[in-house]
Amino acid sequence: MKAHIKYFAAAMVLLTFATSFVTTPAKKKTEVVNILTSAVCESCKARIEKALKSTDGVVEANLNLDNKKIKVKFNPDKISAEQIRTVISNTGYDADNVKHAETAFNNLPHCCQKAGGACEHKE
Ligand SMILES: [Cu+2]
C-alpha cells in the first residue's frame, strides 16, 4: 500500500516535469524594440513594414504614424536592434540615431522625403 503511494507520487512529479517541458518550448524567445522613424505617410509606413517583414529574424513590425514609432518584434538569435535600424535606414528613413541611407532616401517619392511635412497622399 505504502509503495503504491510512493509510485503515484513519483509519477506525479514526472508528469509535472513533462508538462513544463511541453508548455515552455526552449526556442521561442522574441524581443521587442521601439524605434523612432522619419515616416511621413501611409505609404512610408507600408514601405518600412514591408522591408522589415521580409527581413529574416523579424517577427512583427507595426508603425504608428501618430508618433512615427515602429514596434518591431524580433528573434535576437537572428537579428539585432541595430541591424533593424540599418534596414530602416536602407529603406530611406531615419531610425533613432541612425540616419537614412542617402541613395534610398533620394529614391523615395518627393513628399515622403519631408520629415514632418505635409504629404499629398496623407489621410
Ligand atoms: Cu510617405
Ligand 1 geometric centre to CA of 115 (Å):
9
Ligand 1 geometric centre to CA of 75 (Å):
28
Q: Which residues does residue 71 pair with via DSSP β-bridges, in sequence order?
A: 34, 62
Supply the pTM of this predicted model: 0.74
Instruction: Give the pLDDT confidence score for residue 122 in this predicted structure.
Output: 45
Instruction: Give the pLDDT confidence score for residue 19 in this predicted structure.
Output: 67
Domains of the chain: 31-113 (3.30.70.100)
Ligand 1 geometric centre to CA of 49 (Å):
12
Distance of CA 15 to the CA centre of its chain: 36
28-77: pLDDT as tens digits: 789 999 999 999 999 999 999 999 999 999 999 999 999 999 999 999 99
List the single range of 26-35, 71-80, 97-106 with lowest mean pLDDT.
Answer: 26-35
pLDDT band at 123 (very low <50, low <70, confident <90, very high): very low
User: Which string of b and e fits 18-32 if b means at least 16 CB within 10 Å?
Assistant: eeeeeeeeeeeeeee
Pairing status of strand 69-74 against strand 58-64? antiparallel
* E strand spans, 48-123: 58-64, 69-74
